[in-house]
Amino acid sequence: MRTETKTILDNDAAKYGIEEWENIETGEEFIMERELTLSTLPKTWVFDLDGTLLKHNGYKTDGEDTLLSGAKEFLDGLPKEDKIVIFTSRIKEYREQTLQFLEKHSVRFDEILFEMPMGERIVVNDRKPSGLDMAVAVNVERDEFELPTIRREK
């Protein structure tokens, strides 16, 4: 379990819900966005599978997958016009087993890509002339589906 202390970076950061945290045990500082304000445009959501939506490697260690608490509810709560893409490093040998689990539990997604590299996922997109950044990244702790609060502009 991490022991943390919180320090607000500055007034602008606080306005956007960005906080600076420090791990008391290691002294490591990290940034955590507690609230994310998004435009009203339809979204493409990209999720890793293991450790993000499902227990990391549960299909191997437990013999079956386990949904992380809150993951399905979050996906179900996304607007219908939003698209959901799942990436996984699972090999195609586990494709049918994975798809059956997702179907059995009615996990909403539009596309799933298997055999993705295990390294970082890098999203590159342009910025609209209005200044709207068209790419957002959120990193979560493994096996904890804890996202910032998502708000949509009005």
For the chain, list residues with pLDDT below 70: 1-33
| pLDDT computed for residue 107 by the predictor | 98
Q: Is 119 a member of any domain? A: yes
In degrees and rounded to multiples of 5, residue 65 shows phi and psi of -80, 160
Identify whether residues 23 and 98 lie together within a single domain: no
Same domain, 53 and 107: yes
Question: What gap in Å lies between CA 42 and CA 38, rounded to an integer?
Answer: 10
Clarify whether residues 129 and 142 are in a common domain. yes
Are both 20 and 42 inside the same structural domain?
Answer: no
CATH code, domain with 58:
3.40.50
Q: Domain of 116?
A: 38-149
- 42 shares a domain with 30: no
Total domain count, the chain = 2
Q: What is the pLDDT of residue 27?
A: 67
Give the pLDDT score at 13: 47
Radius of gyration over every alpha carbon of the chain, rounded to an integer in angstroms: 17
Q: Do 31 and 71 have their domain in common?
A: no
- Cα dihedral 56, 60, 63, 65 sign: positive
Whether 131 is covered by a domain: the verdict is yes
